[in-house]
């Protein structure tokens, strides 16, 4: 990546790169509200200001090139950056017909994309309700579920169960299905009818319990909560097949039992795959690893590889048969958007699904992911603070602990995970941490060489950060 924006800019104006950087940082602080990052930190880090990206590399305004093990930072850039094939499909769709309302016309790209999704989705998940992002997909999924129960004559089934440490977005529904104390404080009052369950956190299970016993106990806790609430009041459960933030791969029996419990009480399972769906875990959908079929799957990020925003709630035929049982005359309600089934976003989605199929990217993720996980596990055994290395495909978590034997965590105020991601950025390597779980989620196109470099990048960042600790 040569000849950056910055150098071109310098050639045409008197502004130096440093002046431009300073101006952009100050304008950003004043005009763009950045979520999750303080203005102080934007100033301290002088952005960083990304100017271009290609493959698994992101270049900043100073010409520094970062190795991107985060698919752009939040897992969306699943095809890597700068794909001409996607750009061409998007440009061509804009030229042909950029948008018409779904209320007025149906459009071909959305029909084709929904058919392609149905082909790769598990079981009888057939029908996509397209929205613009992950939060909207979750919101729409809860509306579909409520409509399903109302249509079946059970309007009292309105509550949703969700699990601690999960994340389902930032609309009122997403925030209400989150144990984040920030959401609870700042956005109060949240929506009623959201009931919190414990996470299924295998590494932190009670000592002496096998994984299978723990999976069973977690599932039993769900059933107990349903009975406490009254099954006639519970509409659904919002649960990612593999919660991505802490990479909580569940025991194999857990989701099977969850499925049985949902069926027993006529409760629908919304498998929120906004983060992990569309190839990330080495299967198209995370739930496939456990041989279970959800009632609704939500996707976003990977469905368009971050090229254009799109999200979808994908409902099973069984659910749809209820929702449109009357031929649509009193069609069950789900709120639509101006940009529902946006033709340009759907064209991007088709280009992405073509690339995933033609380049066998799901296989690539499975093979390279297995290699990376094995390497990290071998390295982790030699490091006194690597408590657990877990994951599937290109979703990998490394849990750092103070004491490996007792699994005692580091004091939260040491901010060990944060130190790792900072060390990574210093070394031009992008990794993330949630608490002290360091996570990697590269683009599905990452090659063996890329993955080797990611192994070097993350182990170096962890070792550097551990070297900075008070002990
Ligand atoms: C599992 C899950 N659900 C929902 C969302 C919200 O998606 P968005 O940020 O596109 O609104 C996210 C975002 O990271 C997510 O990981």
Give the DSSP letter string of 307-329. SS--EEEEEEHHHHHHHTTTTTT
pLDDT at position 307, please?
98
Q: How many CB atoms lie within 10 A of CB 218?
A: 23
pLDDT at position 375, please?
98
Atom of ligand 1 nearest to the CA of 74: 14
pLDDT digits (tens, 9 = 90+) for 178-188: 988 888 899 99
CA 389 to chain centre: 19
pLDDT at position 88, please?
98
CA–centroid distance, 169 to ligand 1, in Å, is: 5
The preferred substitution site among 141, 167, 314 for testing ligand 1, maximizing ligand atoms within 8 Å of CB, is: 167
pLDDT at position 144, please?
95
In this structure, the residue with its CA closest to atom 8 of ligand 1 is: 134
The preferred substitution site among 166, 300, 432 for testing ligand 1, maximizing ligand atoms within 8 Å of CB, is: 300
Say if CB 180 and CB 172 are below 8 A apart.
no
323, 324, 329, 335: CA torsion to nearest 10: 50
Percent of the chain's residues with pLDDT above 90: 91
* Region 260-288 average pLDDT: 98
pLDDT at position 36, please?
86
pLDDT digits (tens, 9 = 90+) for 229-255: 999 999 999 999 999 999 999 999 999
pLDDT digits (tens, 9 = 90+) for 438-464: 999 999 999 999 999 999 999 999 999
CA–centroid distance, 210 to ligand 1, in Å, is: 31
Atom of ligand 1 nearest to the CA of 272: 1
In this structure, the residue with its CA closest to atom 13 of ligand 1 is: 169
Atom of ligand 1 nearest to the CA of 298: 3
Pocket of ligand 1 (CB under 6 A): 74, 133-135, 138, 167-169, 240, 244, 272, 274-275, 300
Percent of the chain's residues with pLDDT above 70: 96
In this structure, the residue with its CA closest to atom 14 of ligand 1 is: 275
Say if CB 425 and CB 410 are below 8 A apart.
no
CA–centroid distance, 74 to ligand 1, in Å, is: 9
CA–centroid distance, 250 to ligand 1, in Å, is: 20
* Region 120-131 average pLDDT: 97
C-alpha span between 456 and 99 (Å, rounded): 45
**What pLDDT band is residue 2 in, cutting at 50, 70 and 90?**
very low
In this structure, the residue with its CA closest to atom 16 of ligand 1 is: 275
pLDDT digits (tens, 9 = 90+) for 135-173: 999 999 999 999 999 999 999 999 999 999 999 999 999
**What pLDDT band is residue 6 in, cutting at 50, 70 and 90?**
very low
The preferred substitution site among 36, 72, 134, 177 for testing ligand 1, maximizing ligand atoms within 8 Å of CB, is: 134
Atom of ligand 1 nearest to the CA of 273: 1
Say if CB 341 and CB 348 are below 8 A apart.
no
pLDDT at position 332, please?
63
Burial 69-96 (b: 16+ CB within 10 A, else e): bbbbeebbbbbbbebeebeebbeebeee
**What pLDDT band is residue 7 in, cutting at 50, 70 and 90?**
very low
Say if CB 448 and CB 433 are below 8 A apart.
no
In this structure, the residue with its CA closest to atom 5 of ligand 1 is: 169
**What pLDDT band is residue 12 in, cutting at 50, 70 and 90?**
low
CA–centroid distance, 263 to ligand 1, in Å, is: 26
The answer to whether residue 423 scores a pLDDT higher than 90 is: yes
The preferred substitution site among 168, 308, 345 for testing ligand 1, maximizing ligand atoms within 8 Å of CB, is: 168
Q: Which of 319, 346, 327, 315 is nearest to 106 (CA)?
A: 346
Residues paired with 314 in a beta bridge: 128, 297
- Residue 53 to residues 34, 62, 67, Cα–Cα distance (Å): 20, 13, 10
pLDDT digits (tens, 9 = 90+) for 39-48: 999 999 999 9
pLDDT at position 181, please?
86
Query: Helix 252-264 vs helix 211-229: angle between axes, to the nearest 10 degrees?
Result: 20
Tell me what the pLDDT averaged over the chain comes to.
Answer: 95
pLDDT digits (tens, 9 = 90+) for 306-353: 999 999 999 999 999 999 887 766 566 677 899 999 999 999 999 999
The preferred substitution site among 238, 275, 277, 285 for testing ligand 1, maximizing ligand atoms within 8 Å of CB, is: 275
């Amino acid at each position: 990546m040569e000849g950056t924006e910055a150098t071109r800019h310098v050639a045409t104006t008197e502004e130096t790169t440093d002046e431009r950087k300073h101006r952009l940082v100050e304008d950003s602080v004043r005009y763009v509200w950045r979520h999750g990052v303080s203005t102080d930190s934007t100033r301290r880090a002088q952005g960083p200001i990304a100017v271009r990206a290609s493959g698994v590399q992101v270049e900043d305004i100073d010409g520094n090139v970062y190795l991107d093990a985060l698919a752009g930072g939040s897992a969306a850039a699943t095809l890597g950056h700068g794909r001409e094939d996607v750009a061409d499909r998007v440009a061509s769709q804009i030229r042909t017909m950029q948008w018409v309302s779904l209320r007025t016309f149906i459009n071909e790209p959305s029909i084709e994309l929904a058919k392609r999704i149905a082909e790769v989705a598990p079981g009888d998940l057939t029908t996509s309700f397209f929205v613009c992002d992950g939060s909207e997909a979750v919101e729409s999924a809860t509306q579909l579920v409520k409509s399903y129960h109302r249509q079946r004559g059970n309007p009292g089934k309105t509550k949703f169960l969700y699990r601690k440490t999960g994340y389902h977005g930032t609309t009122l529904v997403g925030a209400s299905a989150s144990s984040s104390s920030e959401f609870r404080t700042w956005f109060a009052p949240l929506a009623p009818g959201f009931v919190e369950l414990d996470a299924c956190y295998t590494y932190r299970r009670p000592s002496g319990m096998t994984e299978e016993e723990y999976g069973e106990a977690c599932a039993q806790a769900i059933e107990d909560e349903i009975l406490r609430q009254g099954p006639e009041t519970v509409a659904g459960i919002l649960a990612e097949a593999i919660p991505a933030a802490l990479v909580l791969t569940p025991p194999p029996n857990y989701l099977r039992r969850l499925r049985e419990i949902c069926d027993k009480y006529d409760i629908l399972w919304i498998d929120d795959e906004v983060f992990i769906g569309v190839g990330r875990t080495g299967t198209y959908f995370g739930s496939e690893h456990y041989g279970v079929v959800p009632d609704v799957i939500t996707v976003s990020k990977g469905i368009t590889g971050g090229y254009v925003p799109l999200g979808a709630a994908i409902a099973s035929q069984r659910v749809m048969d209820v929702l449109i049982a009357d031929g649509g005359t009193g069609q069950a309600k789900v709120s639509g958007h101006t940009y529902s089934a946006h033709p340009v976003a759907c064209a991007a989605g088709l280009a992405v699904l073509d690339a995933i199929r033609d380049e066998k990217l799901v296989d690539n993720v499975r093979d390279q992911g297995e290699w990376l996980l094995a390497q990290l596990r071998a390295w982790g055994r030699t490091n006194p603070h690597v408590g657990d290395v877990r994951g599937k495909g290109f979703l990998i978590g490394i849990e750092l602990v103070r004491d490996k034997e007792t699994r005692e965590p580091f004091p939260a105020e040491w901010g060990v995970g944060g130190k790792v991601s900072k060390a990574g950025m210093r070394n031009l390597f992008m990794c993330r941490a949630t608490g002290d779980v360091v996570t990697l989620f590269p683009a599905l196109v990452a090659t063996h060489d890329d993955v080797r470099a990611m192994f070097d990048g993350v182990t170096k960042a962890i070792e550097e950060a551990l070297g900075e600790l008070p002990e």
